[in-house]
Structure 1
Amino acid sequence: MQKCEQECGEEAWRIACCSRVGKIAICVMSIAILYLIISALTPTESTHKAADLDVPRAGINLTRANQVLTSLCDAYERGDVSGDSCNRLCYDRNWLVTDFYEGHKTVVIVKDGGQTAVYKSTKPFMNDFDEPQDHLTDAQFSDRVVDVVNNELRLGWPKHYSRHLMETVWPTLLRTKGEAMSRADRRSLWALLKQPEFILFRVLPLTRVTPKLIGTCGHMYQTESLVAFKMKGYYTNLKAKILVHVMGTLKLLYEFLDEPLQWCDVRFDNLGLSADYPKRFVLMDGDMVYTKSKLDSLLKGRPCETDDDCKIGDCTARCTANMVCSSRSNGNLEVFCDKLVNKLFANQWSKNNKYLVACRDTGRNITTRLNELRLTWSWNLPDV
């Protein structure tokens, strides 16, 4: 019986090897096995991409980036500065800097425990900022903070709510009820308050168009990491979805309290994406985002000779007969249409698309178009 099975097995193998079908089957199996072996030993494209995220961007000044971080952590260890992000940033100083930018703002991006951490400041070093006066009492220092925030946002924060504002700009006070701020605390907060973007991100998170503020260390503030939106040619296939995100962002700018936010640096490169923010972009840079009252204070009454003297980025005003600038004459809708929507759709538009109608139906005044757009938002973007 055993001999019979052996002979049958040998005969079956001989037939499989010699027949045409058998040869094809063996060839296919060999190729499949070879493919599995190569796949197991060769890194995938996604693996390469993940590895690339840990590699510094070509051309950045790593020496300068490390100088900025080292100076900050030296000051922290001396007790000259403080902040809720300092301990983690300065724990072992084994920084993996993946990007660094120094221009109108200093930005250092590091990989920290597998996470991307973004640190920003208008100036690279703490010593570049003025220090607060040492003789001020806690109440006097709080009043100064209220004055700085009110000057920047023009929202009229009352002095008798200064404690709440202090806890907003310096959340550590929420955990240390009754304790006075140290000199390092005051020095760090004062440097942060000299940076308009920090005030915007910290005080007005309800705008929902700015990145979350993770923490601070000295004069630097840490924002959440976003995916920068880079407009590519092939994105035109996704232009309907991009338009929804653009309109979601515009909606939030108009709906902020009674002070519509004015964005004067509108461009795709300044927009960020995150899975936490459906149907809207987030503004990567807030240096040219103003409340209406703040923008009026910068424009209205400014001496001028022509309309060109009445511009702050994309926000324009008119030079009046009195040779002073008016308040802003264009609006967010017009700028969004010109710099974002028109780039997506060129001359294409349909009357069935209410978003495009708001941009292209210039035969009607801007107020009418904006009112109809608000109605469309209420139906199509109620959850933004």
Structure 2
Amino acid sequence: MSEQVDCMARLKVRRILYAALLVFLLLIYLAVISNGRRRSAMMIVDALCQRYKEGKLSGSYCEKICSYENLKVFAHSTSNKAVIRIEISDERFLLKSAKQFFDQFDMVPEYISVPAFDNLLNDQIRSHTGLSLDDSLLGVKSIWPKKAMLTLADRRSIWALCSQEEYLNFKLLDFTGLFPKVIGTCGHMYAVPIVKAYTSQWPFLTSSSAADKFILTLQTLQYSHSEPLHWCDASSLNLGFSDDPEFPYLILDADMLYTQSGFGSLMAKMPCQHDSDCYFFDCKASCNRSAGWCSSHRLNSNVQVVCKKFLPWWYKMVASSNDRLVALCTRGSL
């Protein structure tokens, strides 16, 4: 009997040791990954500052980033694009870009005239939005506040920024209150405040005020612009808190958000035989079978997508009969 007890005790000790070893190895692995990401982030910032010192790029935050001795750099996440957390004294912000390095973007010609550059820039913005906007909303003034004559470094930095859909959304749709504000730029990278993101899978069930802000967010997407805005990568992890209680939730990652015209231009490039060929992440469009191309007609709505992804199936069973969230999701539209 005692031998059996001793055997079980030894087995238990082995299991504890194995578990401890696995935890230790996991911690080492996570530390290696974290250090690797931080080194990658440092390499991106170093390359950015090197190009700035060479006079190849410019921006309102370049001096702040490249001259501060005690700059702290952390990799928030880096893949093909870059999202880097920066700490300078008491200031913290994210540096973002669709590509990691300035040289990965197309460069504007060195001797391009100012009118030709403005035309290129306006075409780029129109290509993204799909809209023919008033000149007051287009051009350098809408995305680059600098007043003086633009240098070549300025033009190349502006062009790299305007090659990024998220940057254009943040700047051109800033009036909606749906996005973090761009607080500065350096070359191809733009700085935004660090916003507290949601960690809950169902962020809108925490309180009635949270549900009301959810509805306000959907209304803002639908009605704040001259055309509805299509959110094609809806995720609770992509939402953050706004400091203003009267404002909707903040969409933290907006590179797949489109105006109706922009969505139509995107879908028109997709060949199809059936509606199932016209899926773009969360957005579904119909197929124009006679033309063989996807149409601009969206088959699902932001409301349907968000309700499906964010509202658990059991919520309707426990919600009150006058629950606004359930009523909205039942209708499927605003």
**Which residue number corresponds to residue 335 of structure 1?**
305
Contact 2:205 2:211 in 1 (8 A): no
Alignment match, 1:266: 234
Give, in angstroms, the shift of residue 347 of structure 1.
Answer: 3.8
The Cα shift of 1:151 comes to 0.4
Shift of 1:147: 0.5
- Aligned twin of 2:124: 148
Q: Give 1:232 shift.
A: 5.6
| Secondary structure in structure 2 of the residue aligned to 1:319 | strand
2:266 counterpart residue number:
298
| Pair 1:271–1:59, CA change in 2 (3 A) | farther
> Does residue 1:170 correspond to 2:144, yes or no?
yes
RMSD of aligned residue pairs (Cα, Å): 2.5
Letter in 2 for 1:350: S
Query: Retained in 1: the 8 A contact 2:92–2:194?
Result: yes
Higher Cα Rg: structure 1 or 2? 1
Report the CA distance between 1:95 and its aligned residue: 2.1
Shift of 1:356: 1.5
Q: How many angstroms does 1:226 deviate by? A: 0.4
Q: Does 2:76 match 1:100?
A: yes
Counterpart pick for 2:322 among 327, 347, 352: 352
The whole-number CA distance in structure 2 between the counterparts of 1:211 and 1:126 is 23
Q: 2 CA distance for matches of 1:236 and 1:303?
A: 37
Report the AA paired with residue 168 of structure 1. S
Contact 2:44 2:101 in 1 (8 A): yes
Describe the shift of the 1:320–1:157 C-alpha distance in structure 2 as closer, same or farther (beyond 3 A): closer
For residues 129 and 214 of structure 1, the distance between their equivalents in structure 2, rounded to whole angstroms, comes to 22
Q: Match for 1:123 among 76, 99, 108?
A: 99
Q: 1:328/1:106 Cα in 2 relative to 1: closer, same or farther (>3 Å)?
A: same
Q: So what's the TM-score if we normalise by structure 2?
A: 0.83
Moved over 4 A (4+): 57-60
Q: Report the CA distance between 1:346 and its aligned residue.
A: 5.4
2:165 is equivalent to residue 191 of structure 1: no
Q: Provide the residue aligned with 2:254 in structure 1.
A: 286
Structure 1 gap ranges (5+): 1-56, 371-384
* Residue 245, structure 1, aligned to residue 213, structure 2: yes
The answer to whether residue 200 in structure 2 is matched with residue 231 in structure 1 is: yes
How many residues were matched structurally?
302
Using the alignment, how far apart are the partners of 1:211 and 1:343 within structure 2? 31
Q: 2:182, 2:330 → 1: CA distance? A: 37
C-alpha deviation, 1:155, in angstroms: 1.9
Identity of aligned residues (%): 30
User: d(CA) in 2 for partners of 1:271 and 1:277?
Assistant: 15
How far residue 150 of structure 1 moved from its aligned partner, in angstroms, is 0.4
Matches within 5 A, 1:32-43: none
Residue type at the aligned position of 2:158:
L
Matching residue within 309, 318, 324 for 2:277:
309
